[in-house]
Chain A
Amino acid sequence: MRETLTNQIRRLRFDNGEMTQQALADKVGVTRQTIIAIEQGNYTPSLTLAMKLARAFNKTVEEVFQLNCS
């Protein structure tokens, strides 16, 4: 069974007044490259960063990240 982690960060950024990647990165204390890597699914963030990202959008972690099993 293959597990993949998807996320809604890109959509949530646009829902939150077209927030830029840099603005989100500054808000959670990482680099823009890290946000790009997470959005593309190339990097799985730590639980701390996942919670910071969810908090930045006023969402729960499950609303931002989804674990898909196939």
Chain B
Amino acid sequence: MRVSPYLWCGSALLVALVLSLTLGSEPFPLEDIGRTLLRGFGLLESSPETETDDKIFFGLRLPGSVLMLLVGAALGGSGAAYQGLLRNPLADPYLIGVAPGAALGLVTALSVFRALPVSPEITTLAASLPVAAFLGAILTVFVVYRIARVDSSAPVTTLILAGVAIGAFATALTWFLMLQTEYNSNRIVLFMLGGYSQGGWPPVLTALPYIGAGLIIIILLARPLNVLQFGEEQALQMGLPVERVKLVLILAASLAAAASVAVAGIIGFVGLVVPHVIRIIWGPDYRRLIPLATLTGATTLLVADTITRAVASVRVLPVGIVTALMGVPFFIYLLRREKRSYW
């Protein structure tokens, strides 16, 4: 009996979620989680001792894990979408400018705040930074798309080239601004290494609509993505409104990726490696690939984040580093094992 891939990925996600909630710098035993949840639903009595535990769980642990789940899903799904629409195995959610744009937005906002005669309240600062990052990301993608557009079409190769070029430009500007001021460079570096968030529910609630909308659109466009793989000419002849599909896909994937970066920093490798892993194991049909990549992206990030938090008191280990250390060897292993060409 073949086990459905959805069952595999779904169970993996569940296990990862449980691990994420129970482990961390301080273990939170499974039974305690159960009791905490029951207390949350009012089915069990709470007392002063349990109050702290409950606050920690509902206020920090749970939203933290949910955020990683959401961001991982966004990265996995948008990574797969980009690889499909650009028809390039090296594509990841940041290729056409989301990451460099977000970093630039963040640094610009910080520089502006620094230049103001009166320093703004730190809470205003903290609230506005994700917005700045998001806007930076979206604006950059917009610029890339406009540059790549010739007449009414945006050739894929041009998109990639423009993305890389604008990305490099944005990165150069970012470094320049960063070096101008030592102020808050710590914050910027943390952002670029990924996994840094404000904690609590606000980031989750902020990112959810964009990530949710983006992923739903991508899933709905799975079939057109399959058709696109034949090549744009072919797809056009088969009746697909190619440019429109591309535009919508770029929009959806960028929204999800930009929201992720805005609330959790730049986390690499998940969007690149996860879709390939799914492809190697379960084939390139996007109707399956997208949902599975979404699920597995969430699983991967949850695991990476758990590791990060477990060692946090000993080592500063940003999530982005863990994803690279985890993802790359596994991916190479799969590549070598797979004799046939899977792309």
A binds B: no
